[in-house]
Structure 1
């Protein structure tokens, strides 16, 4: 299970869309922690227009993002356990939510990676997916 730590600075989500996005992120993290990269990737927008941004630059396109993850996490033994802390959530429209989290991945009890991620979630086909993510 994720380490969802609601702090005093993070109010309880008010909007249904915000609650649904939190549930979607929880589903993605459950798939990740089960070692199922394909299921975790299902929470990203399967479109050539998806954006992934990090310190090394930008990837555009679902296949490119998937290939990047496959290169970094060659199998489930390299995926580790993902946890997060919500920092900010904001419903922009009923079908667009901006979500900022602090995240970390532990592998064999040691921090593999972590940082802050800002995610733009949209509901293009009736299902919440990440359409843009900046992880640092």
Structure 2
């Protein structure tokens, strides 16, 4: 009986650990919440803070965390422009223990319009945190 109890004590933290898919979903959910609070600086915590981070949209290739944040702040200068963001994750495919592809949809609800589109993210586990290292977003 004592061995059974010790086994439960030793294994219980394992059952509490989140799966990579859950950790990735948490990052994207936190981004959605930050956006909807008008906090682009917190939104960007989901991205790899590196000059090697890539963002591709429409006809634009952007390299680096800082230029990406600056572009977000330029295109979404206030809460009305930000609107209400909703992400829908359709699929998370683990490529390895430290890399995953995330495919989904995004939708903005604003007073003047309702833009929406799709995204494909490469997320990598860097220093024990899942971060977006490549974002391809389109309408």
Name the TM-score, length of structure 1 as normaliser.
0.83
Tell me if the contact between 2:102 and 2:122 (Cα under 8 Å) persists in the aligned partners. Answer: yes
Cα distance in 2, alignment partners of residues 39 and 48 from structure 1? 18
Does the aligned pair in 2 maintain the 1:37–1:76 contact within 8 Å?
no
Equivalent position to 2:74, from 71, 76, 80: 71
Map of 1:130 onto structure 2: 132
Higher relative contact order (CA 8 A, sep 6+): 1
Runs of 4+ in 1 over 3 A off after TM superposition: none
Is the counterpart of residue 32 in structure 1 residue 35 in structure 2?
A: yes
2:111, 2:39 → 1: CA distance?
17
Show the counterpart of 1:7: none
Alpha-carbon deviation of 1:110? 3.6
Distance in 2 separating the partners of 1:26 and 1:82:
10
Instruction: Count the aligned residue pairs.
Output: 121
Counterpart CA distance in 1 for 2:79 and 2:30 is 17
Which of these residues, 16, 22, 31, is aligned with residue 25 of structure 2?
22
Note the aligned Cα RMSD (angstroms): 1.5
Counterpart Cα distance in 2 of 1:68 and 1:104: 19
Deviation at 1:75, TM superposition (A): 2.2
Distance 2:105 2:131 in 1: 19
In the TM superposition, what is the alpha-carbon distance from 1:109 to its structure 2 partner? 7.4
Would the aligned equivalents of 1:36 and 1:76 in 2 still touch at CA under 8 Å?
A: no
Q: Which has the higher helix share?
A: 2
Structure 2 unaligned segments of length 5 or more: list them. 1-17
- Secondary structure, counterpart of 1:88 in structure 2: strand
